C-alpha cells in the first residue's frame, strides 16, 4: 500500500469498510454467498428427497393400505420380483438406446457447427438447435403422435414410396414392433431421441469448439490422416461433451412417464410405475424404492462423468 501514497485517498465510509471486510475475509464472503442457495437446495430440496426416499424402508399394510412405519427390507426386495425387475431392465435399456442414438445423430451436427460452419452458418445451426429445444415438450410429443399414427404421415409416405412392406416387416419384429408405430418401442425411442437431441448437441459442440485448431494441425503435420486425427485427437477431447450430454439424455429418459403413456406399448416403464404407485395405488414405500434405482444409476453415471471431466463441458 506504500505505493499508493501519491494517489488521492480512497473513499471512506460504511460501504468501503464493508467492502474491505469482504475482500479481506474471503471465508465470510463465501459463506454469505453460499447460505441462500444452500438453504433452498441443501435443506428444503435435499430434505424432502430424503424424507421421500427414506420411506423405502417402510412397507405397506396390504389390508388397510396404510404405511407401516417399521424398518424392513421387504419393500426393497420387491424390486427384484420378476415383474418389477423387468420394468427396471426395460427402462435402463430404453435410456441406453436413446442416449446412443442421440450421440450418433447429434455428433455430426455438433461437429459441423463447431468446426466447419462460418459465423453465419453457426448462428443458423445454433438457432436450429435451440428452436426445437424451446418448443413445448408436449407439443413435440404431439407432433410425433401426428407422424406415427397409423393414418399419419410416416405411414402415408412409406406406402407411397413403396416402403410399406419394409414398415410392416419392422412392425412385425418381436421387440421393436407393434400394431402401429405409435404403440411400439420404436416409436417411443424415436420420440425420446428427438426430444433430448438438443441436450446432446449443445455440450458436444461446446467441447468441440474448445479443441484448439493447432492440435489438429499438429496431428496432420505429424502424418495423421484426417480420419486418424479425428479418432485420436478430436474424439477423445469431445468425449467429456458427449458424457455431459448423456447425463441429460439418460436421466431425462429414465424418469419420464409422459411419453410412454402417450406413445408406447402397454408394458410399464419406471416413471409410469412410480406415478401409479404414488397415485392410484397409494404405495409410497414401493414408489420410493423404485425411485432409488434411477438415483443409484445416475450416481454411478455422475461419478464416471466427473472422472472424465464432463462437468467442465456443461
Partner 1 sequence: MTRPSLALKIAALGGLAFLHVPLGFILLYCFTTEERSYAFPPPGFTLKWFGVVWGRADIWAAVGLSLQVACLATAIALVLGTLAAGALARARFFGREPVSLLFVLPIALPGIVTGIALRQAFGLMDMPFSFWTIVLGHATFCIVVVYNNAVARLRRLSPSLIEASMDLGADAFQTFRLVILPNVGTALLAGGMLAFALSFDEVIVTTFTAGQQSTLPIWMLSELIRPRQRPVTNVVAVLVIAVTFLPILAAYYLTREGEAVAGSGK
Q: What residues from 65 to 104 belong to the interface with partner 1 (CB under 8 A)?
A: none
Are 123 and 117 within 8 A, CB to CB? no
Query: Cβ neighbours of residue 107 under 8 Å, at least 6 residues apart?
Result: 204, 238, 242
Residue 257 Cβ vs partner 1, minimum distance, rounded to whole Å: 6
| Alpha-carbon separation of residue 51 from 44, 45, 55, 58, 70 (angstroms) | 10, 10, 7, 12, 15
Please report whether residue 45 would count as binding partner 1 according to CB under 8 A.
Answer: yes
Would you list the DSSP string of 7-43? Answer: SPPPPPSHHHHHHHHHHH-HHHHHHHHHHHHIIIIII
Please report whether residue 52 would count as binding partner 1 according to CB under 8 A.
Answer: yes
- Look up residue 58 and give its three cell numbers: 417402510
Residues 268-297 interacting with partner 1 (rule: CB under 8 A): 271, 274-275, 278, 284, 287, 291, 294-295
Q: Alpha helices, DSSP H only, in 112-179?
A: 119-134, 137-148, 153-160, 164-172
Residues 164-193 interacting with partner 1 (rule: CB under 8 A): none
Cβ closer to partner 1: 11 or 63? 11
Residues 229-268 interacting with partner 1 (rule: CB under 8 A): 247-248, 251-252, 254-258, 261-262
DSSP 3-state of 73:
coil
E strands in the chain: 59-60, 67-68
Can you tell me which of 25, 28, 44, 169 binds partner 1, judged by CB under 8 A?
Answer: 44
Residue 64 Cβ vs partner 1, minimum distance, rounded to whole Å: 20
Count residues near partner 1 (CB under 8 A): 101
| Alpha-carbon separation of residue 79 from 46, 85, 248, 274, 293 (angstroms) | 24, 6, 25, 12, 9
Can you tell me which of 84, 92, 106, 211 binds partner 1, judged by CB under 8 A?
Answer: 106
Residue 162 Cβ vs partner 1, minimum distance, rounded to whole Å: 17
Residues 18-37 interacting with partner 1 (rule: CB under 8 A): 18-20, 22-23, 26-27, 29-30, 33-34, 36-37
Can you tell me which of 88, 92, 98, 113 binds partner 1, judged by CB under 8 A?
Answer: 113
Residues 121-140 interacting with partner 1 (rule: CB under 8 A): 123, 125-140
Amino acid at each position: 500500500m506504500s505505493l499508493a501514497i501519491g494517489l488521492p485517498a480512497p473513499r471512506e465510509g460504511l460501504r468501503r469498510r464493508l467492502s474491505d471486510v469482504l475482500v479481506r475475509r474471503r471465508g465470510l464472503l463465501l459463506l454469505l454467498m453460499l447460505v441462500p442457495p444452500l438453504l433452498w437446495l441443501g435443506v428444503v430440496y435435499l430434505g424432502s428427497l430424503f424424507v421421500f426416499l427414506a420411506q423405502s424402508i417402510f412397507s405397506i399394510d396390504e389390508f388397510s393400505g396404510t404405511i407401516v412405519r417399521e424398518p424392513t427390507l421387504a419393500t426393497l426386495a420387491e424390486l427384484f420380483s420378476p415383474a418389477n425387475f423387468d420394468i427396471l431392465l426395460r427402462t435402463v435399456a430404453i435410456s441406453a438406446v436413446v442416449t446412443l442414438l442421440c450421440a450418433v445423430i447429434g455428433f455430426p451436427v455438433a461437429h459441423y457447427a463447431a468446426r466447419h460452419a462460418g459465423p453465419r452458418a453457426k448462428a443458423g445451426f445454433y438457432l436450429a438447435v435451440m428452436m426445437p429445444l424451446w418448443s413445448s415438450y408436449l407439443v413435440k410429443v404431439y407432433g410425433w403422435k401426428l407422424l406415427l399414427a397409423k393414418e399419419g404421415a410416416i405411414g402415408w409416405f412409406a406406402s407411397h414410396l413403396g416402403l410399406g412392406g419394409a414398415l410392416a416387416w419392422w412392425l412385425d419384429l418381436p421387440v421393436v414392433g407393434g400394431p402401429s408405430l405409435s404403440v411400439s418401442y420404436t416409436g417411443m425411442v424415436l420420440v425420446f431421441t428427438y426430444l433430448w437431441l438438443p441436450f446432446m448437441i449443445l455440450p458436444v459442440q461446446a467441447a468441440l469448439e474448445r479443441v484448439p485448431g493447432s492440435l489438429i494441425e499438429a496431428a496432420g503435420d505429424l502424418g495423421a490422416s484426417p480420419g486418424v486425427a479425428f479418432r485420436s485427437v478430436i474424439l477423445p477431447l469431445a468425449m467429456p461433451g458427449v458424457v455431459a450430454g448423456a447425463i441429460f439424455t439418460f436421466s431425462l429418459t429414465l424418469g419420464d412417464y409422459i411419453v410412454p403413456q402417450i406413445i408406447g406399448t402397454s408394458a410399464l416403464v419406471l416413471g409410469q410405475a412410480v406415478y401409479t404407485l404414488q397415485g392410484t395405488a397409494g404405495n409410497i414405500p414401493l414408489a420410493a424404492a423404485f425411485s432409488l434405482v434411477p438415483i443409484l444409476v445416475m450416481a454411478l453415471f455422475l461419478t464416471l462423468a466427473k472422472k472424465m471431466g464432463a462437468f467442465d463441458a456443461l
